[in-house]
Amino acid sequence: MPKKCDVWKEQGRATQRSVERLAVVMAVEDVPPSTSLLGSSGDQHHHHEEEQQQCKRCILQDDRSFRSLRDHKTRPLCLTSTSLEYYAASGKEDSAPLILSLADVVGAKAGPAPASGGGQRAGGGINGRGGIVHQLQVFAYVASGEGKEMGCTGRGGPCRKNKRRATHQTWLASDPDTAQHWATEINNRLRQSQGREEDLERGNRGPGRRLLVLVNPVSGTGESRSTWEKTLRPMLEQAMTTANVVFSTRRGELAEIITNAGDNSSTDATRGASAGGGGGGSTVGSLDDLDGIVVVGGDGTFFEVLQGMYARPDCARQLSRLSLGIVPAGSGNGLAKTVSVESGEWFGAVSASFLAAKGQTKAMDLLLTESADKKYLAFLNVGWGMISDVDIESEAYRWMGSLRFTVGTIVRIANLKHYRGRISFLPDLDAAAATTPTPSKNASASAPFRMPPLSEPVHQDGAGSESAAAGAPALEGWTSVEGEFILADMTQASHIAHDMPMAPHSRIGDGLIDLFFIKKGASRFAMIQMFLAMEKGGHISPRFPCISWHRVRAFRIEPLTSSGRITVDGELVDYAPLQQHVWRKAAHVFCSPDDDAERLPACLGS
């Protein structure tokens, strides 16, 4: 391989135009620049320093080995710590290099070039070892420029909301060893330079990862299988990630699979499932052999998988080491939308698959939920009253996809119901004192919060509607509100559906639950206006005094009537007292790191 910068040094001596072009990419050492090109001696010195710095930037550089797939001309390549620099086949001689950010790259691969028409190898005129032409492929998905989704209101700057599109690059190489060396170096760079320390320590990033993909074929409008085959599977293969895929055949099966994974004596849960992909086999095997789990489906499918994990005796250990992902293929897709917002990504299967292929993660809160005779591990929300009514009643319109929730909301507003009960909650002191929503400082990831038993009251008996009228709470710091409610929703996600940003300021690891409720007395017109505003996160406003909003660490619902509905993550549970509190940063989800998310934390809309 030629010494660094030698080839471009010779080209730099040839013409002034070549020097202008090459000085941008690689240093032209010991080349006396002409006065007409670089101006004064001070300019010459500054230019020479820039050239030397550029030359040192290249971790890997090659000027002779690679040719364009389009015109078969030799094209210099330069790999830096953050990008791959190259020239377009149609570029002019004095054009600047194109820069492909490694943040948009999922993997690289070297191998024989495919045969073209007539049985001839691509890249005629290039004689490879043994007459075979080899190629270097770099798989990238680029979101061009800065765009905005409808209703995007990023706090720290514009939202990167353009869709990612496949922008793969291929170069022909006569030497297979050189192509393989570049592919290995690019993949190593992806593994080492883009993740946070905790990802690398947990060993679940980069090429060679092993994922379990759980597909619910009947989720939403039934597009999960197609999403796996056309979107997620190719991207994982490009990232050299081994995927064992399981297609569920009945409700509850995925929970059983996760609960029994690694238990050789209990394989019935996996016999009815169809497995394939890179992992092969008909059973899941041990979770300890996996780096992550990706769900292709909706919030209900993810909830089912999470309950399977919660039933395991090693639940906490597995959640601490496994990365979890969701590729939206359901009706609501609240978690997938929340993660896309957190990552600053366009919502959809391509972006979600890209996040899984990249392998970067963020810690996410989970919600420990308790009823009289059952416990749940939740991630999205608890709904009571109108919220849960719409969730369950709209099942009849499942064929409509996400439109079912809009139709269900209209039907329910036209026939408003009221539910008598009591809502008790533990406000977060930091959130209550802040003028803008902030993460909780009281909730510690290392010190889990302990809830009182459901049998222990957190209120004092009284006839008043507010705790101030009813007397001080029985437990210190708790507040109780009793009366007739139209709805109540408690969420730790920014979106409870992809088009419903219930808590647009929420972050997936802020340690808080956003509690909303509307009491009897709100008009139908006000309700319609509020739900229309909610599409862009505008319902948290003085315009809607009917809605009460609190940021809390824990809450309890106590229905005081016999009829009604309560849902946990969209799933119907017993209509009985229920309480919930935050399990801080219990899981890790595939998500862009903080440097992007901090800039793009509140992109709303669909």
DSSP 131: G
Q: Which parts of 43-189 are beta strand (E)?
A: 60-62, 66-68, 77-79, 83-86, 98-101, 105-112, 134-142, 165-166, 169-173
Question: pLDDT value at position 355?
Answer: 96
Task: Please report which confidence band the pLDDT of residue 391 belongs to, taking 50, 70 and 90 as the band edges.
Answer: confident
The Cα 439–Cα 506 span in angstroms is: 9
Say if 58-194 and 369-585 have the same CATH topology. no
pLDDT for position 224: 94
- Give the separation between CA 565 and CA 555, rounded to whole angstroms: 17
- Residue 291's pLDDT is what? 94
Q: Fold for domain 211-360?
A: Rossmann fold (3.40.50)
User: What is the reported pLDDT for 156?
Assistant: 36
pLDDT at 375 over 80: yes
CATH code of 369-585, in short, is 2.60.200.40
Q: What is the pLDDT, as a whole number, of residue 29?
A: 37
Does the pLDDT value for residue 334 go beyond 80?
Answer: yes
Most confident of 57-61, 85-89, 143-147: 57-61
∠ Cα 551 351 355 (to 5°) = 75
Q: Reply yes or no on whether the pLDDT at 533 is more than 60.
A: yes
Q: Which two tokens stand for residue 92?
A: 């002019």
Task: List the domain boundaries for the chain.
Answer: 58-194, 211-360, 369-585
Give the CA-trace dihedral at 386, 387, 389, 392, to 10 degrees.
Answer: 170
d(CA 139, CA 227): 19
Q: Looking at the predicted structure, is the pLDDT value of residue 24 above 70? A: no
Beta-carbon count within 10 A of 473 CB: 18
In this prediction the pTM is 0.79
Of 113-117, 305-309, 522-526, the one with minimum mean pLDDT is 113-117
Fold of 58-194: PH-domain like (2.30.29)
The answer to whether residue 344 scores a pLDDT higher than 80 is yes
